[in-house]
Amino acid sequence: MVYFDNAATTPVPKAVADAMYDVLTQHFGNPSSQYPMGLEMHKAVEGWRAVVADALGCPPERVCFTSCGTESDNWAIQAALWQNRHKGKHIITTAVEHSAILEPCKLLAQQGYDVTYLKPDRTGHITVPQVADALREDTVLVSVMLVNNETGCIFPVREIAALLREKNSPALLHCDAVQGFLKVPCDPEGWGVDLMSLSGHKLGGPKGVGALYIGPRVRNPRPLLPGGGQERGLRSGTEATAQIAGFARAVQLRREDYDAKIAHMAALQAYCREKLLAMGGVVSVGEGAAPHILAVSLVGYPSANIVSDLGAQGICISAGSACHQGKASHVVSALGLDKKTAAGVIRISFSPDNTQAEADTLCAALQAHRDSRFPML
């Protein structure tokens, strides 16, 4: 199998699986239990928390474990709205956020919130002046992702945080960093981000675990899941110790030779872009700078057919986000592409383990698909 869909999920390295297996079979105590095995696991969870916090550059107490990025996003939104419940009902986000942001915003609009959706330009980017123009006295939340999961565009989160400080806005800033963490610079503490969402399975960790960074401006964050009081009373439910162990181990592995891994992915991305654009009839989609995502269009060739054809050959890519399951992507729609270009958009996403030989196999398969199929009229 040739796997180029690492923005959807990533393979779990053996070292991560081993760390999880050890917890599942040998160190399975409940961290809330007061006998030695439980106390041992409580200490272990705090150690794993410190690993993730160190990668974020923040104190461990700023990190709460969750079940996934989607939970982290929903919790961040609810915490921000609760804190600012007496200050307004205006939310700013982008039209190209993950559905874990857009769907909650749709529900909030039904509850009386006014949501402003910032549209990207043709290159896929959102600008600080757009946020400044949308900002109001009753704005209570700004939610902007770090890296777009379909185009790889990096959004100016640091500069947006500075804008909110400059305007003395009460709005809290949330950043969905699921696609950006350990792939591009990510410093919530230094930037002044109030809430930041992470997910384990985008960087070699298991599915079923994520985290939420909660900054100092978030006062007494309202729990999304009240109950037994785990995670310092902020996120109840017995800690998923095996998943947390796997998340922390994946973070450690991804940070080893980090610069070389980023450079390798960026080189593969550039190599694939050059080969594909040289085919003719292939165009770049957006101007993403993240090293692990490449979006292109085989103009006039439906992406669902491309994904199916290559999948039958054991080559895994996607037509936009895996979460859309073949439906038209709101991200592609927001770019304002013509019909034939939009129809042919595919996403190729890289890991440090991908090779140039695999890239050659992928490019050859895309060339063969184009040469053997008729384009849409």
Quick one: CA dihedral 45, 47, 52, 57, positive or negative?
positive
Q: Are 60 and 154 in a shared domain?
A: yes
Q: Total structural domains in the chain?
A: 2
Q: List b or e across 172-207, with b for residues whose CB sees 16 or more CB atoms inside 10 angstroms.
A: bbbbbbbbbbbbbebebbebbbbbbbbbbbbbbbbb
* In a shared domain, residues 179 and 283: no
* 234 shares its domain with 306: no
Within 8 A by CB and 6+ apart from 146, the residues are 154, 155, 157, 175, 176, 177, 179, 180, 181, 184, 186
Is residue 219 included in any domain, yes or no? yes
Do 182 and 304 have their domain in common?
Answer: no
224 and 104 within one domain: yes
pLDDT per residue as tens, the chain (377 positions): 999 999 999 999 999 999 999 999 999 999 999 999 999 999 999 999 999 999 999 999 999 999 999 999 999 999 999 999 999 999 999 999 999 999 999 999 999 999 999 999 999 999 999 999 999 999 999 999 999 999 999 999 999 999 999 999 999 999 999 999 999 999 999 999 999 999 999 999 999 999 999 999 999 899 989 999 999 999 999 999 999 999 999 999 999 999 999 999 999 999 999 999 999 999 999 999 999 999 999 999 999 999 999 999 999 999 965 444 555 689 999 999 999 999 999 999 999 999 999 999 999 999 999 999 988 86
**Beta-strand pair 293-298/282-284:** antiparallel
CB 228 within 8 A of CB 192: no
CATH number at residue 54: 3.40.640.10
Residue 133 tokens read as 């123009």
CB atoms within 10 A of CB 2: 18
Do the domain assignments include residue 377? Answer: no
End-to-end CA distance of the chain: 33
Based on the domain organization, do 262 and 247 belong to the same domain?
no
pTM: predicted TM-score of the whole model, two decimal places = 0.96
323 catalytic? Reply is yes
3-state secondary structure of 186: coil
Q: Which residues span the domain enclosing 346?
A: 2-10+258-372
Q: How far apart are CA 184 and CA 179, in angstroms?
A: 9
271 with 207, same domain: the answer is: no
Catalytic member of 58, 186, 316, 323: 323
Query: Which of 255, 271, 294 corresponds to the end of one domain?
Result: 255
Of 222, 255, 288, which closes a domain?
Answer: 255
Residue 65 lies in a domain: yes
d(CA 4, CA 350): 6
Q: Is 247 left (phi over 0), alpha (psi -120 to 50) or beta?
A: alpha
